[in-house]
Amino acid sequence: MDGFWNDSTNAAKIQQEKSLLKDITASYLILEQLRDEFLILYDFCTQEGDVNSGTEAVSVYDKFIKQFKEMEQKVLLSDENDSLNAIVSINAGAGGTESCDWASMLYRMIIKWAENKRFKLSLIDTQEGETAGIKSVSFMVEGPFAYGLLKSESGVHRLVRISPFDSNARRHTSFASIWVTPEIEDDIEIVIADKDLRIDVFRSGGAGGQGVNTTDSAVRFTHLPTGIVVVCQKERSQLKNKALALKILRSRLYEMEMAKRRAKADAVEADKEDIGWGAQIRSYVLHPYKLVKDHRTGHEVFTAEDVLDGNLDSFIDAYLRWMVEQKSQGTPS
Protein backbone atom coordinates (compact mmCIF):
# COMPACT_ATOMS: atom_id res chain seq x y z
CA MET A 1 0.00 0.00 0.00
CA ASP A 2 3.08 2.26 0.09
CA GLY A 3 2.52 5.14 -2.28
CA PHE A 4 -1.08 4.08 -3.01
CA TRP A 5 -2.47 7.58 -2.54
CA ASN A 6 0.34 9.21 -4.52
CA ASP A 7 -1.57 8.39 -7.70
CA SER A 8 -4.93 9.93 -6.77
CA THR A 9 -6.60 9.02 -10.08
CA ASN A 10 -5.71 5.34 -9.86
CA ALA A 11 -6.52 5.28 -6.14
CA ALA A 12 -9.99 6.72 -6.81
CA LYS A 13 -10.59 4.10 -9.50
CA ILE A 14 -9.61 1.25 -7.18
CA GLN A 15 -11.74 2.69 -4.39
CA GLN A 16 -14.72 2.78 -6.76
CA GLU A 17 -14.16 -0.86 -7.72
CA LYS A 18 -13.87 -1.75 -4.03
CA SER A 19 -17.13 0.06 -3.32
CA LEU A 20 -18.92 -1.87 -6.08
CA LEU A 21 -17.64 -5.20 -4.76
CA LYS A 22 -18.68 -4.28 -1.21
CA ASP A 23 -22.13 -3.34 -2.47
CA ILE A 24 -22.57 -6.69 -4.28
CA THR A 25 -21.31 -8.64 -1.25
CA ALA A 26 -23.56 -6.71 1.14
CA SER A 27 -26.58 -7.30 -1.12
CA TYR A 28 -25.90 -11.06 -1.16
CA LEU A 29 -25.56 -11.17 2.65
CA ILE A 30 -28.88 -9.34 3.02
CA LEU A 31 -30.53 -11.90 0.73
CA GLU A 32 -29.06 -14.73 2.77
CA GLN A 33 -30.25 -13.15 6.03
CA LEU A 34 -33.79 -12.57 4.71
CA ARG A 35 -33.95 -16.17 3.45
CA ASP A 36 -32.93 -17.58 6.85
CA GLU A 37 -35.35 -15.27 8.65
CA PHE A 38 -38.21 -16.34 6.37
CA LEU A 39 -37.52 -20.05 6.91
CA ILE A 40 -37.53 -19.64 10.69
CA LEU A 41 -40.79 -17.68 10.67
CA TYR A 42 -42.33 -20.19 8.23
CA ASP A 43 -41.49 -23.06 10.60
CA PHE A 44 -43.05 -21.20 13.55
CA CYS A 45 -46.20 -20.59 11.52
CA THR A 46 -46.65 -24.08 10.06
CA GLN A 47 -45.44 -26.21 12.97
CA GLU A 48 -46.67 -24.18 15.94
CA GLY A 49 -49.60 -22.34 14.36
CA ASP A 50 -48.18 -18.91 15.22
CA VAL A 51 -50.28 -16.48 13.16
CA ASN A 52 -48.06 -13.47 13.94
CA SER A 53 -45.06 -15.37 12.60
CA GLY A 54 -47.02 -16.06 9.41
CA THR A 55 -47.79 -12.36 8.94
CA GLU A 56 -44.16 -11.45 9.57
CA ALA A 57 -43.01 -14.18 7.16
CA VAL A 58 -45.06 -12.59 4.36
CA SER A 59 -43.44 -9.22 5.08
CA VAL A 60 -39.95 -10.76 5.03
CA TYR A 61 -40.78 -12.58 1.79
CA ASP A 62 -41.76 -9.29 0.14
CA LYS A 63 -38.45 -7.74 1.24
CA PHE A 64 -36.59 -10.76 -0.12
CA ILE A 65 -38.27 -10.46 -3.54
CA LYS A 66 -37.50 -6.73 -3.71
CA GLN A 67 -33.84 -7.34 -2.81
CA PHE A 68 -33.64 -10.25 -5.24
CA LYS A 69 -34.91 -8.09 -8.11
CA GLU A 70 -32.34 -5.42 -7.29
CA MET A 71 -29.59 -8.06 -7.37
CA GLU A 72 -30.97 -9.48 -10.61
CA GLN A 73 -30.83 -6.04 -12.19
CA LYS A 74 -27.14 -5.75 -11.31
CA VAL A 75 -26.52 -9.00 -13.18
CA LEU A 76 -28.16 -7.41 -16.23
CA LEU A 77 -25.73 -4.49 -15.98
CA SER A 78 -22.82 -6.41 -17.44
CA ASP A 79 -21.64 -4.15 -20.29
CA GLU A 80 -18.15 -2.69 -20.02
CA ASN A 81 -19.24 0.85 -19.16
CA ASP A 82 -22.38 0.13 -17.13
CA SER A 83 -20.73 0.84 -13.77
CA LEU A 84 -19.56 4.32 -14.82
CA ASN A 85 -21.09 7.71 -14.08
CA ALA A 86 -23.44 9.18 -16.70
CA ILE A 87 -23.36 12.42 -18.67
CA VAL A 88 -26.91 13.37 -19.65
CA SER A 89 -27.94 15.89 -22.32
CA ILE A 90 -31.56 16.93 -22.89
CA ASN A 91 -32.60 18.97 -25.94
CA ALA A 92 -35.97 20.42 -26.89
CA GLY A 93 -37.31 19.51 -30.32
CA ALA A 94 -39.12 21.78 -32.75
CA GLY A 95 -42.17 23.48 -31.28
CA GLY A 96 -40.90 26.46 -29.31
CA THR A 97 -42.34 26.91 -25.83
CA GLU A 98 -44.15 23.55 -25.80
CA SER A 99 -40.98 21.55 -26.47
CA CYS A 100 -38.89 23.67 -24.11
CA ASP A 101 -41.38 23.03 -21.32
CA TRP A 102 -41.35 19.30 -22.14
CA ALA A 103 -37.53 19.29 -21.98
CA SER A 104 -37.70 20.85 -18.50
CA MET A 105 -40.20 18.18 -17.41
CA LEU A 106 -37.82 15.44 -18.58
CA TYR A 107 -34.96 17.19 -16.75
CA ARG A 108 -37.02 17.18 -13.55
CA MET A 109 -37.92 13.49 -14.11
CA ILE A 110 -34.27 12.42 -14.33
CA ILE A 111 -33.34 14.60 -11.34
CA LYS A 112 -36.10 13.09 -9.18
CA TRP A 113 -35.03 9.57 -10.19
CA ALA A 114 -31.38 10.30 -9.36
CA GLU A 115 -32.25 11.90 -6.03
CA ASN A 116 -34.29 8.83 -5.07
CA LYS A 117 -31.18 6.73 -5.79
CA ARG A 118 -29.11 9.18 -3.71
CA PHE A 119 -26.90 9.85 -6.70
CA LYS A 120 -24.86 13.04 -6.98
CA LEU A 121 -25.95 15.60 -9.59
CA SER A 122 -23.74 18.27 -11.15
CA LEU A 123 -25.03 20.81 -13.66
CA ILE A 124 -22.66 21.33 -16.61
CA ASP A 125 -24.55 23.74 -18.86
CA THR A 126 -28.09 24.94 -19.47
CA GLN A 127 -29.82 27.14 -22.05
CA GLU A 128 -33.19 28.51 -21.02
CA GLY A 129 -36.20 28.72 -23.29
CA GLU A 130 -37.32 32.15 -24.50
CA THR A 131 -40.70 31.96 -22.72
CA ALA A 132 -40.56 28.90 -20.47
CA GLY A 133 -38.63 25.70 -19.89
CA ILE A 134 -35.19 24.93 -21.32
CA LYS A 135 -33.78 24.57 -24.82
CA SER A 136 -31.00 22.30 -23.60
CA VAL A 137 -29.27 21.09 -20.46
CA SER A 138 -26.25 18.91 -19.72
CA PHE A 139 -25.45 17.42 -16.32
CA MET A 140 -23.49 14.66 -14.63
CA VAL A 141 -25.08 11.84 -12.62
CA GLU A 142 -22.61 10.14 -10.30
CA GLY A 143 -23.42 6.86 -8.57
CA PRO A 144 -23.08 3.07 -8.86
CA PHE A 145 -24.12 1.93 -12.37
CA ALA A 146 -25.49 5.40 -13.21
CA TYR A 147 -24.75 4.97 -16.92
CA GLY A 148 -25.97 1.37 -17.08
CA LEU A 149 -29.30 2.39 -15.59
CA LEU A 150 -29.81 5.67 -17.45
CA LYS A 151 -28.81 4.41 -20.91
CA SER A 152 -32.41 3.21 -21.24
CA GLU A 153 -33.46 6.87 -21.52
CA SER A 154 -31.39 7.67 -24.64
CA GLY A 155 -33.66 8.65 -27.50
CA VAL A 156 -36.61 10.85 -28.41
CA HIS A 157 -39.46 11.26 -25.89
CA ARG A 158 -42.96 12.31 -27.01
CA LEU A 159 -45.57 14.12 -24.89
CA VAL A 160 -49.31 14.43 -25.63
CA ARG A 161 -51.29 16.79 -23.40
CA ILE A 162 -53.63 19.77 -23.19
CA SER A 163 -51.21 22.66 -23.50
CA PRO A 164 -51.02 25.02 -20.50
CA PHE A 165 -49.79 27.66 -22.97
CA ASP A 166 -52.80 27.41 -25.31
CA SER A 167 -55.69 29.71 -24.35
CA ASN A 168 -58.03 27.46 -26.37
CA ALA A 169 -57.00 24.38 -24.32
CA ARG A 170 -56.12 22.33 -27.39
CA ARG A 171 -54.16 19.09 -27.35
CA HIS A 172 -50.50 19.39 -28.35
CA THR A 173 -47.73 16.90 -29.14
CA SER A 174 -44.18 17.83 -28.12
CA PHE A 175 -40.81 16.15 -28.58
CA ALA A 176 -37.48 16.30 -26.74
CA SER A 177 -34.41 14.10 -26.75
CA ILE A 178 -32.31 12.60 -23.98
CA TRP A 179 -28.79 11.37 -24.76
CA VAL A 180 -26.75 9.52 -22.16
CA THR A 181 -23.02 8.79 -22.42
CA PRO A 182 -20.61 7.23 -19.90
CA GLU A 183 -18.01 9.31 -18.10
CA ILE A 184 -15.15 7.33 -19.57
CA GLU A 185 -11.97 6.55 -17.65
CA ASP A 186 -8.85 8.58 -18.40
CA ASP A 187 -6.95 5.47 -19.52
CA ILE A 188 -9.17 4.95 -22.58
CA GLU A 189 -7.24 6.16 -25.61
CA ILE A 190 -9.14 8.97 -27.33
CA VAL A 191 -6.76 11.33 -29.12
CA ILE A 192 -7.91 14.89 -29.84
CA ALA A 193 -5.49 16.86 -32.02
CA ASP A 194 -5.11 20.57 -31.31
CA LYS A 195 -5.83 21.41 -34.96
CA ASP A 196 -9.20 19.61 -34.68
CA LEU A 197 -10.36 21.70 -31.73
CA ARG A 198 -11.76 25.25 -31.68
CA ILE A 199 -12.00 26.79 -28.23
CA ASP A 200 -14.18 29.85 -27.57
CA VAL A 201 -14.26 31.67 -24.23
CA PHE A 202 -17.26 33.77 -23.23
CA ARG A 203 -19.15 35.18 -20.28
CA SER A 204 -21.63 32.85 -18.60
CA GLY A 205 -25.29 33.67 -19.16
CA GLY A 206 -28.47 32.67 -17.36
CA ALA A 207 -31.05 34.21 -15.09
CA GLY A 208 -28.55 34.77 -12.28
CA GLY A 209 -28.31 33.29 -8.83
CA GLN A 210 -25.78 31.22 -7.00
CA GLY A 211 -23.03 29.68 -9.08
CA VAL A 212 -23.38 31.98 -12.12
CA ASN A 213 -20.01 33.25 -13.31
CA THR A 214 -19.23 36.93 -13.49
CA THR A 215 -16.01 36.54 -15.51
CA ASP A 216 -15.25 35.20 -18.97
CA SER A 217 -14.77 31.67 -17.63
CA ALA A 218 -17.35 29.78 -19.71
CA VAL A 219 -15.89 27.75 -22.58
CA ARG A 220 -17.17 26.20 -25.80
CA PHE A 221 -15.27 23.35 -27.47
CA THR A 222 -16.05 22.57 -31.12
CA HIS A 223 -14.58 19.34 -32.49
CA LEU A 224 -14.19 20.25 -36.16
CA PRO A 225 -14.07 16.72 -37.71
CA THR A 226 -17.32 15.61 -36.07
CA GLY A 227 -19.10 18.91 -35.39
CA ILE A 228 -19.58 17.98 -31.71
CA VAL A 229 -20.01 21.08 -29.54
CA VAL A 230 -19.52 21.05 -25.76
CA VAL A 231 -20.30 24.07 -23.58
CA CYS A 232 -19.26 24.24 -19.93
CA GLN A 233 -19.88 27.04 -17.45
CA LYS A 234 -20.20 25.06 -14.23
CA GLU A 235 -16.99 26.33 -12.62
CA ARG A 236 -15.81 29.88 -11.96
CA SER A 237 -12.34 28.87 -13.13
CA GLN A 238 -11.81 28.89 -16.89
CA LEU A 239 -9.14 26.21 -16.45
CA LYS A 240 -11.54 23.88 -14.64
CA ASN A 241 -14.25 24.48 -17.26
CA LYS A 242 -11.78 23.58 -20.02
CA ALA A 243 -10.80 20.37 -18.22
CA LEU A 244 -14.44 19.34 -17.75
CA ALA A 245 -15.38 20.25 -21.33
CA LEU A 246 -12.48 18.15 -22.61
CA LYS A 247 -13.61 15.18 -20.49
CA ILE A 248 -17.15 15.46 -21.87
CA LEU A 249 -15.86 15.76 -25.45
CA ARG A 250 -13.70 12.65 -24.99
CA SER A 251 -16.71 10.82 -23.58
CA ARG A 252 -18.84 11.69 -26.62
CA LEU A 253 -16.08 10.78 -29.06
CA TYR A 254 -15.63 7.47 -27.27
CA GLU A 255 -19.35 6.73 -27.47
CA MET A 256 -19.32 7.61 -31.18
CA GLU A 257 -16.40 5.25 -31.80
CA MET A 258 -18.14 2.44 -29.91
CA ALA A 259 -21.27 3.02 -31.99
CA LYS A 260 -19.22 2.70 -35.17
CA ARG A 261 -17.72 -0.56 -33.96
CA ARG A 262 -21.23 -1.83 -33.38
CA ALA A 263 -22.08 -0.79 -36.95
CA LYS A 264 -24.90 1.41 -35.67
CA ALA A 265 -23.47 4.91 -35.99
CA ASP A 266 -25.66 5.84 -38.97
CA ALA A 267 -28.87 4.85 -37.22
CA VAL A 268 -27.89 6.60 -34.00
CA GLU A 269 -27.03 9.84 -35.77
CA ALA A 270 -30.24 9.71 -37.82
CA ASP A 271 -32.24 9.47 -34.59
CA LYS A 272 -30.38 12.42 -33.11
CA GLU A 273 -31.15 14.59 -36.14
CA ASP A 274 -34.87 13.88 -36.09
CA ILE A 275 -36.43 14.84 -32.76
CA GLY A 276 -39.95 14.23 -33.99
CA TRP A 277 -42.51 11.81 -35.38
CA GLY A 278 -41.40 8.23 -35.95
CA ALA A 279 -38.20 8.58 -33.93
CA GLN A 280 -39.61 8.38 -30.39
CA ILE A 281 -38.62 5.59 -28.01
CA ARG A 282 -41.33 6.44 -25.47
CA SER A 283 -44.66 8.25 -25.41
CA TYR A 284 -46.21 10.04 -22.43
CA VAL A 285 -49.95 10.63 -22.86
CA LEU A 286 -51.67 12.93 -20.35
CA HIS A 287 -54.86 13.49 -22.38
CA PRO A 288 -57.43 12.09 -23.15
CA TYR A 289 -56.14 9.24 -20.93
CA LYS A 290 -53.02 8.59 -18.84
CA LEU A 291 -50.39 6.27 -20.30
CA VAL A 292 -46.61 5.98 -20.63
CA LYS A 293 -45.46 3.41 -23.17
CA ASP A 294 -41.97 2.39 -24.27
CA HIS A 295 -42.06 1.54 -27.97
CA ARG A 296 -38.97 -0.70 -27.83
CA THR A 297 -39.95 -3.01 -25.01
CA GLY A 298 -43.74 -2.64 -25.08
CA HIS A 299 -43.72 -1.88 -21.34
CA GLU A 300 -46.46 0.53 -20.31
CA VAL A 301 -47.96 2.00 -17.14
CA PHE A 302 -51.07 4.07 -16.53
CA THR A 303 -49.64 6.23 -13.75
CA ALA A 304 -48.04 8.91 -15.93
CA GLU A 305 -47.62 11.37 -13.07
CA ASP A 306 -45.57 8.83 -11.09
CA VAL A 307 -43.24 8.32 -14.06
CA LEU A 308 -42.76 12.06 -14.48
CA ASP A 309 -41.99 12.19 -10.75
CA GLY A 310 -39.00 9.93 -11.36
CA ASN A 311 -40.50 6.45 -11.03
CA LEU A 312 -38.48 4.99 -13.94
CA ASP A 313 -37.35 1.68 -12.46
CA SER A 314 -39.90 -0.51 -14.25
CA PHE A 315 -38.92 1.02 -17.62
CA ILE A 316 -35.22 0.60 -16.86
CA ASP A 317 -35.72 -3.03 -15.84
CA ALA A 318 -37.81 -3.77 -18.95
CA TYR A 319 -35.15 -2.17 -21.16
CA LEU A 320 -32.28 -4.16 -19.62
CA ARG A 321 -34.18 -7.44 -20.10
CA TRP A 322 -35.09 -6.44 -23.65
CA MET A 323 -31.43 -5.72 -24.40
CA VAL A 324 -30.46 -9.20 -23.19
CA GLU A 325 -33.08 -10.71 -25.52
CA GLN A 326 -31.83 -8.61 -28.42
CA LYS A 327 -28.26 -9.77 -27.85
CA SER A 328 -29.26 -13.43 -27.50
CA GLN A 329 -31.19 -13.24 -30.78
CA GLY A 330 -28.43 -11.29 -32.51
CA THR A 331 -30.89 -8.46 -33.22
CA PRO A 332 -29.54 -4.89 -33.50
CA SER A 333 -30.96 -2.83 -30.63
Buried b (16+ CB within 10 A) or exposed e, 261-295: eeeeeeebeebeebbbeebbbbbbbbeeeeebbbe
pLDDT averaged per 10 residues, the chain (length 333): 65 72 83 94 88 92 88 81 92 90 97 96 92 94 94 95 85 94 72 88 60 68 92 85 89 80 48 60 95 97 96 94 84 61
User: Which of these, 123, 152, 144, lies nearest to 294 by C-alpha position?
Assistant: 152
Q: Cβ atoms within 10 A of the Cβ of 245, count? A: 23
Angle at 8 between CA 213 and CA 186, to 5 degrees: 75
pTM: 0.68
Query: What is residue 3's predicted lDDT score, i.e. its pLDDT?
Result: 65
At 79 the pLDDT is 83
228-232 β-sheet, strand order: 197-202, 218-223, 228-232
Question: Domain map of the chain by residue range?
Answer: 8-76, 79-333
CATH ID of 79-333, from 3.30.420.40, 3.30.460.80, 3.30.70.1660, 1.10.760.10: 3.30.70.1660
Closest by Cα among 209, 214, 219 to 244: 219
CA–CA distance, 219 with 8 (Å, rounded to integer): 26
Select from 287, 285, 98 the least CA-distant residue to 176: 98
pLDDT score recorded for residue 197: 92
